[in-house]
Structures are given as C-alpha cells and as structure tokens.
Structure 1
Amino acid sequence: MSLELMEQNLRRVLVIFLASVVTHIQMARSTLEEYLKQCWEDFVDLMDNGIPGLNIPTFDPWFSNDSFSFRMQDSDIVLRADVNATNVTSLGFSSVEIPAVHDNGNWNYNISLTLSDLKLSGIYSAVGSHHYFYPIVGDGPFDITLLDVSSSGTTTLMLNGTVYSLTKLELTPLLYGSATAEFFSLSISGTDSTSETYTKIIYLMTELLWCQIEEQLRQQLSVSVTEYLNNQLLDFKPSSLLQQKKLK
C-alpha cells in the first residue's frame, strides 16, 4: 500500500471517529436536555397540590410577623393600611420553557415560567381620606387575583463525577399582566365602585401589597425549583444510559 493511500485511509478513519464523537456528545446533550425538561414538567404537574418546599397554599410571606403596615399619599389620597394573615394559592403554570445553551464548556439553562393566576387573600384594615374631606375606612377580608404572572432565570449545570447539579436559579422580578381585587367592607365616602377615585385606591392598595409579597415569593420559588431539580438529577446516571444504548 502506498504512503498516499495510507494517509487517505487514516483521514477517513479520523473523520469517522470525530463524527462518532460529535454524535455521541450531541446525543448526551439531547438526552440530558430531555431529562431536565421532563423533571421541570413533573414539577409543574405538582402545582395543583402546591409547590414542593414552598408550602403553597399556606405560604406566609411575613413569617412570624403578624402584620405589616403601609402608607400612601398623593395629591388627592392619604391612606394607612395594615395587612395580615395573607395566604397565597396558585392554579399552576400555564407555560414552561427550558432552552439549553452551551457556553464556554458550561451548561447554562434559561428557565421561563408563567403562572396562569396567583391568588392572594387575607385580612386588612385601612383608614384615610381623599380630596381632603372624604373618609376612607375598611376592615375585613380581601381577595386579589393576578393573571399571567411571569418570570425567568438562568442556572448552570455542573458535573461532579457522575452526579449532575444546578447552581441556584435566580429568577427575575415577578411581573403580572392584569389584576382583579376586592377589599370587602371598604367604604370610600363620596364615591362608588365605578368611580375613578375608587378604582385608583384599589389599584394602589393592590400594588403596595404585591410589592411586599413579590420579593419573598420570588426568592423562595427560586430555592424550591433549584432543590427540586437537583433532587431529580441525583437519579440521572449517564453510565446507565450508555449501558442501555449498548444493550439496544
């Protein structure tokens, strides 16, 4: 066999070998992506019974605090309110995405989520005035429903031996598309529920209440999602998958 022919054969062998390596890597990535997606979908299915580790629907964003107060004032409205005994319930996620990106040798996963609706309920008391002379008084339960609550975050996949794990997912601030709210026994003198002033006060109270809840909910949700996925990844064994491929 001539030297030129030997070189050609060697090139063919190298091309075939490299192609098989690339194919194997792509299959491994694809398998891992599919596994993570399935883990995430399983997590979503659990939402009907509450987020694991988050204790919905008995989540108390203020922990041992019995209540918190907020005060708002603008050119027309002065209001002080106390809120306590708030519970959060959720009907679940309406969409889930886990696009995988390979960057500098590390697996970076973007996780996007949307809660179809998030319900807040509790007890409030409020006292204030609008347009200087008209009193605002309220004392009773409230119900708030936030629609299309969305967030996203990035986590990096790591490998230690044969064990995969994710760094803590850092979710972006939770945003909502629209909201409906009802503060029972709220009396706003000189207005009715269709007036601009009444609507403005309800909107401001909802926004202030959400600001108190959003950060705590986001932080606990980030931890809960990360812990759940890491627990599932303990069962992901690349060697066992390779063994199954060999048997096939």
Structure 2
Amino acid sequence: MDLQGCIDPPGNNDIANLIVAALEAARPLIINGIPSLGIPPLDPLGPLGSIEFHVDGESLRLDGQLNQTRVLNLSTYIVCSLNFSLGISQKFDMDLRVEDFHVDGIYAVDGLFAHLFPVFGSGDYRLDAYDAGIVGGAAISYNPISDIASIKNLHLDIFFSDLELVLECILGCGDMSDLINSAINEVAPPMFNAIWDAINPILTSALENGINEILKNISISDIITPEKIAPHDLGNANDFVDLVLTEVDEIILLSGLDPAPLPDATLPLPEGSASLYGGSLSGLSGLHRDGTCTIDRATSWLFLYANIACQEFQTQFLANVTSGTTLTTGAQVSAEVGKVAIYFVARQDVLIHHTDFDQFVITEFGHIDVNIEGMGLLGHMTGELTEAVINLVREDITNMLEGTIKDLIQDALNETPWP
C-alpha cells in the first residue's frame, strides 16, 4: 500500500492519538455496527439500493443501473494521519488508507459504442480502487463549561491510484465483450463516482457519530493543559506592544513602504474630472503605542487589547484636471493628515501559538489639510478637487492600514513571544 504522507504516530497531539487508538480498537464494531448510535455494519456495507450512473465519453455512451451493491474492506483501513486542533485554528482532519476498496453487485447497461454499435448487458460486476484513501475535514465545537469537544459538518473525499472494473457477460459474454472492455476505462470513473455518492453520507454519519462518541468521554483540559498564566493587570503589555511596533516600523522601512506608492485614481468633479498619478504616502513607519495595552487570558486563548496610532501622514500626487475643452496637467496635490488611531484585539491560541485579530478598528481619523498648486485656468475648481482629494486620502490610508500594515502587525505578533 502507498503510505506516502503518513506520519508516526498519526495524531498531532494527545487527543488526536486517543481518537486514533479508539478507531484502531473499533474494527469489530465497524464489522458489526453500533445500533445504539444508528451506525450500520460497514464491512461489508450494503446491499445498497438502486444506483444509476451515466457514461458520456468519446467512444461510449450508456445508461447504467447498479443493484445489490456491497462495499468491502473498509475495516482494513490504516490511520495515516489525524489532526485535532483547538483554539483559534480549530480544525479536524483525517486521512485513512485502504489497500483495496472493493465494490461488487449486479449491473445493467444500455447504450452505444462508437455511436454505432448497441451496448447492452446485465450480470455481476466488481470494481476495485487500489491504494485508496479517504480524507475528511470538520469543524470543532468546544464547550469550556463541560470541557468537552465535538466535531460537526464532517465531509469526506476519496482518492486512489488505480481503478479496475469487470462487467461479467456484457453483450451476452461473446466476442463483442472484448470490444467493450477496451473502453472500460470510460465506464469505471462515472460508476465509481455514483457509488461513492451513495455511500458517502453513510460513512460520514458513521464516522462523525463514532468520533463524537469517543470525544464525549474526554475532558480536554485533562489532556492538553496550557501553561499556567497569572492574572494580568492593566497595562501589562505596554512594553510588549512597544517592541512589536518597533519591529513593524523597521519592516516598513526595509520593505520600501515609507514612502509607500499609492494607486492612480480618477476623480469625478462637478465641472469635470481629475486624474491623479504618481502618488505616495509617507509616515507609515511612525506607528507607536497610544495608550494602555493589556494581555488577559480566557480559556485556551490569550487576548491582547491595544491602542496604537500614527501621526503626520503626508501624501503627494500629480494631477491632470479637465473641464470641457480645458486641460491642466501636472498640478501638484499634497495632503497632511493628523493623528490616525487604531484599537485592536489580537488573540493567541496558547496550544499552537498562532495569532489572529478579533478586532482591528480605526477609532480616530484626524484633520486632512490639502494643498493644490498649478491649476492654471482651472483654479476655480480647486475647492471641489480639494473635497475629492480628502475622500481619496482617507480611503487610501484606511486601505493601507487595514491591509498591508495589519498583516505586518499580525506577522510580528506571531514571531514575538507573548509575555
């Protein structure tokens, strides 16, 4: 069996390894089912109801129906990997491998080969997917009061290296059956997909119910115990935020973001329009703490409450202004911006030390002072252009702070050990 990508041990932590151990011990239950949980026998699984499939290939078109379908060898799975992560990045995923995913039953088909020859037949069939794997993912729900976790919305997909299909007695078991077998690779995939669509809900429900039955007996804090964190006082993160913002300011300078280029823009005006180009924004490397910053603890997360700000932003543009047949080119547009303040809440998963933002809000946007020179004959439009530039500058700075700068702060929070 191809076990590429498998890990040993397969679980990413103690909880995952407990689930793996329970799945390994559950093979007899997979064969016999668990009636109390509504889980039917899964090996063999079936017989299933009628399954229809369609083939619409280059050389073969047919309609088919499968009955008495059984799926075998599900209890021979190997747990390749299982990830169970709590905290901000809550996720569950698993990878099960089966050497021979075997399906058999009765088929009936009717169609055309090469658009000329009738294709018909019925009888036994068998379909084998070799080196198969079933991968799944789910959301995790954790109740800190009961200290119990569960998975929900599990979804499964299957992959394999080879498909082998045998249709017995197609076209009456005569010589024409060899002709059809030459096109069998066009039949196998749609047949397999139809079978998988039929069994997928059964497997999904069985696995989700079975794993939740395992999890209901596990107290999460007994298995994964985060570091003990002392109660925190207001302002306990001031030095930490100072350090983070120093790193961010250095990265901004090294990345060539101060000054940062601004996108060109076309501004509609009451008497015409203005095209702004060659824009730049200075002052981003002046991020600093702007008040008390505090770290606190809630269940398995650390929360950072921070106030930061930047002062003395400056923007520069060149502008071509048009009104009717009059054109002014190369007008110089500059703007100075007072204080822009931001409040953010960042949270770190204490289990995997990953940081994300819960809030990132611009709480104060200072006065924008615009200066425009070189309007020439269109000087009377300076007032309306000033108003449009104010809105543009506010939008540009907001986009820069809520995009690139927010990402840089998150990177620095991820890379800097939290106190």
What is the SS of the residue equivalent to 1:32?
A: helix
1:229 aligned to 211, 225, 235, which one? 211
Asked if the contact 1:168–1:223 (Cα under 8 Å) also holds between the matched residues in 2, the reply is no
1:239 to partner: Cα distance = 7.9
Alignment of 1:58-137 (within 5 A): 58-62=45-49, 67-91=50-74, 92-104=76-88, 107-137=90-120
For 1:13-56, what per-residue CA distance to the aligned partner results, in whole angstroms no more than 9, with x for missing partners? xxxxxxxxxxxxxxxx954343233223334x347726651432
Q: Distance in 2 between matches of 1:235 and 1:226?
A: 15
More RCO (CA 8 Å, sep 6+): 1
1:86 to partner: Cα distance = 1.1
Inter-CA distance 146–50: structure 2 relative to 1 (3 Å threshold): farther
What is the SS of the residue equivalent to 1:55?
A: coil
Gaps of 5+ in 1: 1-28, 243-248
Structure 2 match to 1:26: none
Asked if the contact 1:108–1:157 (Cα under 8 Å) also holds between the matched residues in 2, the reply is no
What is the SS of the residue equivalent to 2:71?
A: strand
Structure 2 match to 1:171: 155
1:55 aligned to 30, 35, 41, which one? 41
Asked if the contact 2:92–2:151 (Cα under 8 Å) also holds between the matched residues in 1, the reply is no
Q: Which amino acid aligns with 1:49?
A: I
Inter-CA distance 126–37: structure 2 relative to 1 (3 Å threshold): closer
Alignment of 1:29-48 (within 5 A): 30-43=13-26, 45-46=27-28
Q: Distance in 2 between matches of 1:102 and 1:191?
A: 58
RMSD over aligned Cα atoms: 3.2
Gaps of 5+ in 2: 1-11, 225-419
Asked if the contact 1:143–1:182 (Cα under 8 Å) also holds between the matched residues in 2, the reply is yes
Inter-CA distance 35–190: structure 2 relative to 1 (3 Å threshold): closer
Inter-CA distance 184–233: structure 2 relative to 1 (3 Å threshold): same
Structure 2 match to 1:198: 181
1:233 to partner: Cα distance = 2.2
What is the SS of the residue equivalent to 2:65?
A: strand
Q: Between Structure 1 and Structure 2, which shows a larger proportion of helix residues?
A: 1
1:146 to partner: Cα distance = 1.1
Larger radius of gyration: 2
Q: Distance in 2 between matches of 1:228 and 1:93?
A: 15
Inter-CA distance 74–98: structure 2 relative to 1 (3 Å threshold): closer
Aligned length: 205
2:192 aligned to 182, 207, 210, which one? 210
What is the SS of the residue equivalent to 2:21?
A: helix
Q: Between Structure 1 and Structure 2, which shows a larger proportion of strand residues?
A: 2
Inter-CA distance 190–38: structure 2 relative to 1 (3 Å threshold): closer
Structure 2 match to 1:13: none
